[in-house]
């Protein structure tokens, strides 16, 4: 088999993009100060970046394949073995000799997190890694190189959940959104959505983005989520699940992964959004990013143990629909 070309995947969920090794320092009292040393008991390491999507999806019962470049270094090997231990398919990971996965120090304080990353971008373009055929849904870090693949995804019966990431240049050029054309959903946070649409309100931003994709979902951190389904006209503004945020690392990725898994079912939009919001809220209440994402069977017990987190009627559907939320195919071992 040509190592450069992976022809297909039959997983429920394909995740593709940059892979990182994350060292997470959560629940700090404040930003580090030069000359001082800060300790925290809330520390974890985990594969990060696109791995956040993969881990969350696999834990919710979806068969999941990860597509990314990895190095031939020890941390790359650790990321690969950690993904395999979660039941995530790793055949689409391509080893690039002489390169190392970037390492991120994720510092959590004041309800958010700051990230310092060391390393270099992947030397292999994502479109050179993507399979010709990809599962039922895909979570993708899209860019100009993936435009053709994303644009043809609908013809292959694939729903792409697109992420264009933070624009470090600060220009927020709307032309960058050409990369999501053909995607099923776009799931930016509120700052990204408002910057790209030149609006000052997340709801208006979500409506504007719904003119480009069938499903526009804008996450607002502790203020909840707004979602607009362009095909039906449905609009959902979901309240946050009330938790103490210990670690926000990967929260948006986990939310998107849960939403993608829920899209494999026939749940209505509000329940899909609420399901994803609950999974993300549980994750941020624990240190370690996606490494602490819950499994499907954990959700109802967590709600029972945390009655103040949300209106119990809001998640009543979990009692009758939990089996339909979890796809029939389970995560695989490799």
Q: Which of 187, 120, 175 is nearest to 144 (CA)?
A: 175
At residue 332, the pLDDT reads 46
At residue 322, the pLDDT reads 52
Q: Which of 316, 325, 305 is nearest to 243 (CA)?
A: 305
CA–CA dist 58, 331 (Å, integer): 5
CA–CA dist 111, 198 (Å, integer): 26
Helices (H), the chain: 50-59, 74-85, 147-151, 190-197, 202-209, 251-262, 269-284, 299-305, 317-325
At residue 323, the pLDDT reads 47
CA–CA dist 150, 300 (Å, integer): 35
Burial status of residue 42 (CB atoms within 10 A of its CB: 0-12, 13-18, 19 or more)? middle
β-pairing, 225-229 with 215-219? Answer: antiparallel
CB of 54 within 8 A of CB of 135?
Answer: no
CB of 284 within 8 A of CB of 52?
Answer: no
At residue 52, the pLDDT reads 93
pLDDT digits (tens, 9 = 90+) for 288-309: 778 889 999 999 899 999 988 8
DSSP 67: E
pLDDT digits (tens, 9 = 90+) for 157-180: 899 999 887 787 889 988 889 999
CA–CA dist 254, 189 (Å, integer): 13
pLDDT digits (tens, 9 = 90+) for 191-228: 999 999 999 999 999 999 999 999 999 999 888 999 99
Mark the ranges of the chain whose per-residue pLDDT is less than 50: 1-4, 323, 328-334
Here the tokens at position 121 are 């971008």
At residue 22, the pLDDT reads 92
At residue 16, the pLDDT reads 94
> Which residue has tokens 């520390």?
43
């Amino acid at each position: 088999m040509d190592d450069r070309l992976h022809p297909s995947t039959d997983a429920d969920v394909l995740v593709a993009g940059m892979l990182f090794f994350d060292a997470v320092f959560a629940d700090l009292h404040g930003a580090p100060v030069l000359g001082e040393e800060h300790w925290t008991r809330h520390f974890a390491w985990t594969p990060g970046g696109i791995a956040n999507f993969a881990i969350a999806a696999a834990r919710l019962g979806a068969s999941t394949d990860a597509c990314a470049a990895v190095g031939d270094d020890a941390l790359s090997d650790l990321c690969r073995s950690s993904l395999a231990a979660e039941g995530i398919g790793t055949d689409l990971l391509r080893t690039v000799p002489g390169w190392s996965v970037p390492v991120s120090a994720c510092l959590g304080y004041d309800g958010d997190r700051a990230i310092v990353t060391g390393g270099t971008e992947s030397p292999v373009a994502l479109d050179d890694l993507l399979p010709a055929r990809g599962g039922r849904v895909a979570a993708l870090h899209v860019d100009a190189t993936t435009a053709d693949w994303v644009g043809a995804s609908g013809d292959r019966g694939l729903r792409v959940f697109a992420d264009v990431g933070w624009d470090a240049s600060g220009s927020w050029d709307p032309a960058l959104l050409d990369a999501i054309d053909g995607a099923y959903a776009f799931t930016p946070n509120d700052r990204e959505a408002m910057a790209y649409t030149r609006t000052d309100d997340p709801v208006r931003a979500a409506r504007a983005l719904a003119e480009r994709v069938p499903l526009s979902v804008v996450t607002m951190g502790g203020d909840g989520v707004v979602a607009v389904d362009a095909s039906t006209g449905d609009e959902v503004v979901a309240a946050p699940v009330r938790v103490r945020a210990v670690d926000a690392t990967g929260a948006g990725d986990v939310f998107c992964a849960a939403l993608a898994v829920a899209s494999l079912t026939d749940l209505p939009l509000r329940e899909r959004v609420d399901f994803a919001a609950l999974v993300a809220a549980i994750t941020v209440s624990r240190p370690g990013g996606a490494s602490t994402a819950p499994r499907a069977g954990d959700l109802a017990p967590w709600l029972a143990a945390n009655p103040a987190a949300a209106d119990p009627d809001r998640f009543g559907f979990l009692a009758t629909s939990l089996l339909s939320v979890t796809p029939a195919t389970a995560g695989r071992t490799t």
